[in-house]
Amino acid sequence: EVHLVESGGGLAQPGGSLRLSCAASGFTFRSYEMNWVRQAPGKGLEWVSYISDGGFTIYYADSVKGRFTISRDNAKNSLFLQMNSLRAEDTAVYYCARDRYHGSGTFDYWGQGTLVTVSS
């Protein structure tokens, strides 16, 4: 059974940093493209970042470009999101989500999410 478990969320000050992790199990992680999607409190879903299966192709939403860095460790079945220069508007639940198949752009499995709160 596919499982995605996020961790690393918490309270950060504006301008601060956090590193999110997503532990994957139940599938061949190195064969799947992965994403981060976030949801501000009471709001809709916003795609944040994508990384290809080998980690060589990466995309970001304009709202986080230059501040967030996505990466993965296929040997450890893990996905990461390094979040720097955090702003209040980055406050959200962050989900890792798997692409249904190579290049699909459709998210078939999601983690339970980890809450990031940016506040002084």
Partner 1 sequence: EIALTQSPATLSLSPGERATLSCRASQSVSSSLAWYQQKPGQAPRLLIYDASNRATGIPARFSGSGSGTDFTLIISSLEPEDFAVYYCQQRYYWPRTFGQGTKVEIK
List contacts with partner 1 (CB under 8 A).
35, 37, 44-47, 50, 59, 61-62, 95, 100, 104-108, 110-113
How do 10-12 and 18-25 pair as beta strands?
unpaired
Q: H/E element holding 12?
A: strand 10-12
Q: Which is nearer to partner 1, 29 or 111 (CB)?
A: 111
Sequence letter at residue 61: A
- Shortest gap between Cβ of 119 and partner 1 (angstroms)? 21
Nearer to partner 1, 16 or 21 (CB): 21
Nearer to partner 1, 9 or 111 (CB): 111
The label of the residue with tokens 């949801």 reads 39
CA separation for the pair 92, 114 (Å, rounded):
8
From the CB of 120, what's the least distance to partner 1, in Å? 27
